[in-house]
């Protein structure tokens, strides 16, 4: 599919994340796989000032294929995920407040609510590595194994999906669940967790969720 087919979707998602406060100070990025590589939001440009032409198409080795802007510093993380996960067609990276708070404590999300199935199960917190580095890219791939979301320690959130809308839905739901989980912890409560059998049943039901 051509890069142009995704530009409007990527930009609409970036603007929605910004409006919801999930990417404060332009602290996130959105991408979609293309035939040649992937299309990614540019570095340092506020989303409200970004146009479809500002998006950058790059190969997984970092070669710029189309665009005049500098790609997001996290291009290595997007590239590594696309290389490791043929099922992933889009990636959303946020610094959403509640989920990032958990990530800064090195704590993931346990299966305390059935909606965690949207992420493919419990959401791990992947080990810390410097932003933009190959080490962070590798950590993100490990955190995403068998999942559609992972927290990045002392950093933020990665959500993936079969298209831009699906990845966006996962990112929003992870932030929602993180807020609920933090509320429980703040009240001194420990959540009741879904057992493995129930989580497996829910995952089956979610196989066609949102289609």
145 has catalytic annotation: no
Q: Taking residues 59-74, what's their average pLDDT?
A: 95
Cα–Cα distance, 149 to 89 (Å, whole number): 14
Judge whether residue 1 has pLDDT over 50.
no
What distances in angstroms separate CA 71 from CA 68, 77, 183, 194, 210, one per listed residue?
9, 12, 36, 40, 30
Cα–Cα distance, 11 to 164 (Å, whole number): 10
| Domain definitions of the chain by residue range | 8-31+74-208
Percent of the chain with pLDDT over 70: 96
Per-residue pLDDT band at 40 (split at 50, 70, 90): very high
Of 9, 74, 173, 175, which one is the catalytic site residue? 74
Please state which CATH class domain 8-31+74-208 belongs to: alpha beta
Q: What is the pLDDT of residue 44?
A: 87
Cα–Cα distance, 202 to 150 (Å, whole number): 19
Q: What is the pLDDT of residue 139?
A: 98
Tens digit of pLDDT for each residue in 115-171?
999 999 999 999 999 999 999 999 999 999 999 999 999 999 999 999 999 999 999
Q: What is the pLDDT of residue 6?
A: 86
């Amino acid at each position: 599919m051509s890069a142009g087919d995704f530009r409007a979707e990527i930009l609409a998602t970036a603007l929605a994340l910004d409006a919801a406060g999930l990417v404060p100070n332009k602290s996130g990025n959105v991408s979609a796989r293309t035939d040649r590589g992937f299309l990614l939001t540019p570095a340092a440009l506020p989303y409200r000032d970004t146009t479809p032409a500002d998006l950058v198409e790059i190969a997984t080795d970092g070669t710029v294929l189309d665009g005049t802007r500098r790609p997001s510093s996290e291009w290595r993380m997007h590239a590594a995920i696309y290389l490791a996960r043929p099922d992933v067609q889009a990636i959303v990276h946020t610094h959403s407040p509640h989920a990032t708070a958990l990530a800064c404590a090195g704590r993931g999300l346990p299966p305390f609510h059935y909606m965690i199935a949207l992420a493919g199960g419990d959401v791990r917190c992947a080990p810390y590595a410097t932003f933009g580095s190959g080490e962070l890219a590798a950590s993100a791939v490990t955190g995403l194994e068998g999942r559609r979301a992972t927290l990045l320690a002392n950093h933020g959130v990665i959500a993936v999906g079969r298209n831009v809308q699906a990845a966006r839905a996962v990112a929003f739901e992870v932030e929602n669940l993180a807020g609920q989980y933090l509320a429980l912890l703040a009240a001194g409560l420990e959540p009741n967790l879904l057992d493995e059998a129930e989580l497996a049943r829910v995952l089956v039901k979610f196989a066609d969720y949102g289609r």
